[in-house]
Amino acid sequence: MATVTHEPKSGDKATPPVAANGRGIVTVIYDDDQVSVPPWVIDLESFCRWQDSDEFPETGRIWYLKGEVWVDMSQEEVFTHNLLKGRFFIILGGLVDAGRLGRFHPDGLFLKNAAGDIAGNPDAAFASTAALRAKRVRSLRGKRGGVVGVEGSPDMVLEIVSPSSVRKDTVTLRQAYWEAGVREYWLVDARRQPLAFDILRHTAKGYVPTRKTGGWLRSAVFGKSFRLTQQTDEFGDPAFTLEVR
């Protein structure tokens, strides 16, 4: 049985429930909603079959992470997650389209990687034209037709930390994306000031943070430098700016 580290949400009075399907998979569940994992889900391939079936839940963030099924049914924070994520979609999506650099995927993409032993939905991902031509990123066909996700190693993946995803994003996925060969892992945590924004570069020994220069981070994947700053909007709520040069 895999080892589980519990991460209660801020303000929770009890440890989030843990359910095991009895076949070597541990399900880590955050919030009160229960998700039933079929007993035949025992590894990455069976998880992907579940994901492509009618039994798979229509809501929630559900991952297969190195022998664990990780389920988060909590609501997404509006300012420090949802709107912040949108800034990356606008800037990076426009950059990719303007330069015809490849494919930028906002959240909702299903990503599978056997080397990293993971499958789930990153907050965003980018696959360069070179990666697509070399088939380092390949389409996953659904049982009812159409493309339901991708398999392989995107050039860049983005994760924005939420209270329930700290260990997943900063430990488990950091290791898994490195094993998966993802060139850059962009990691953002804006839950408190000062916000943290890192571009982690793939090296032979693991990810290494890119050195900041005046708050700017250079991306080898995009060939540009980026700076993320936080302001307060006219309503007194957090607002974010992603600059590129």
Q: What is the topology classification, in CATH, of domain 78-244?
A: tt1808, chain A (3.90.1570)
Confidence check: pLDDT of 84 > 60: yes
Q: What is the pLDDT of residues 47-69, one digit of tens each?
A: 999 999 999 998 889 999 999 99
- Edge-to-edge strands, sheet with 111-113: 18-20, 26-30, 68-72, 61-65, 118-120, 111-113, 147-152, 137-141
| Overall average pLDDT of the 75-103 stretch | 97
pLDDT one-digit tens code per residue, 91-141: 999 999 999 999 999 998 999 999 999 999 999 999 999 999 999 999 999
Mean pLDDT score, 205-210: 97
Q: How confident is the model at residue 27 (pLDDT cuts 50, 70, 90)?
A: confident
Kindly report the average pLDDT of the chain as a whole number.
90
The predicted model gives 71-79 an average pLDDT of 92
Portions of the chain given CATH number 3.90.1570.20? 78-244
* pLDDT over 60 at 207, yes or no: yes
The whole-number pLDDT of residue 24 equals: 63
Interval 146-202: pLDDT, tens: 999 999 999 999 999 999 999 999 999 999 999 999 999 999 999 999 999 999 999
Residue 15 has pLDDT above 80, yes or no: no
- Give SS3 for 93: helix
Q: What is the dihedral of CA 44, 167, 176, 225, to 10 degrees?
A: 140
- Give the whole-number percent of the chain exceeding pLDDT 70: 90
